[in-house]
């Protein structure tokens, strides 16, 4: 069995989101809706890459002074939004991937972030060490 406690919280979030997406994709494939299955997986991939970019950027911003960090964050936000928009526009040329399923594939990562926050909060309230 996969013990998610030994992973860092950002990795745990990506793994949890992927597992939910995998269940949705497998269900779509079982019901012979391949374009939906590929859409779920593609959406999760784009969302996970976006999350990794955010994580890398935040670690960089922490080392910067306040004004530089604000400017860099604005630029990074624009680049990430262009990345997501271009990933969606590419779907116009790939009919094997359903656009709506891709949009739904963005959701599990957001839910995993919220779930991680709730779990951390509950662990802190109970006095447990975070991540152990």
Each residue of 73-112: pLDDT tens digit?
999 999 999 999 999 999 999 999 999 999 999 999 999 9
Six token digits for residue 46: 């784009």
Q: How remote is the C-alpha of 26 from its chain's centroid?
A: 19
What is the extent of the structural domain holding 101?
Answer: 32-114
Q: Is residue 95 part of a domain?
A: yes
Give the Cα-Cα-Cα angle 45, 50, 53 (nearest 5 degrees): 125
Q: Is residue 12 part of a domain?
A: no
CA distances from 35 to 26, 28, 52, 94 (A): 12, 8, 25, 10
Q: Is residue 89 part of a domain?
A: yes
Q: For the chain, what percent of residues have pLDDT higher than 70?
A: 91
Cβ partners under 8 Å of residue 103, min gap 6: 43, 88
Domain count, the chain: 1
Instruction: State the pLDDT confidence band at 31, using cuts at 50, 70 and 90.
Output: very high
Interval 52-79: pLDDT, tens: 999 899 989 999 999 999 999 999 999 9
Q: Is residue 100 part of a domain?
A: yes
- pLDDT on residue 117: 86
The sign of the dihedral angle between the CA atoms of 13, 8, 123, 23 is positive
User: Does residue 55 contact residue 10 with C-beta atoms inside 8 Å?
Assistant: yes
Q: Is residue 66 part of a domain?
A: yes
Q: Length of the chain in residues, anyone? A: 132
Q: pTM value?
A: 0.80
Can you list the positions of beta strands (E) in the chain? none
């Amino acid at each position: 069995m996969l013990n998610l406690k030994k992973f860092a919280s950002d990795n745990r979030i990506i793994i949890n989101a992927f597992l939910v997406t995998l269940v949705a994709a497998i269900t779509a494939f079982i019901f012979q809706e391949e374009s939906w299955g590929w859409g779920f997986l593609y959406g999760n991939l784009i969302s996970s890459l976006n999350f990794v970019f955010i994580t890398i950027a935040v670690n960089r911003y922490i080392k910067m002074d306040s004004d530089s960090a604000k400017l860099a964050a604005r630029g990074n936000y624009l680049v990430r939004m262009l990345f997501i928009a271009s990933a969606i526009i590419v779907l116009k040329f790939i009919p094997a991937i359903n656009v709506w399923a891709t949009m739904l594939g963005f959701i599990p990562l957001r839910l995993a972030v919220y779930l991680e926050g709730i779990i951390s909060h509950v662990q802190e309230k109970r006095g447990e060490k975070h991540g152990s």
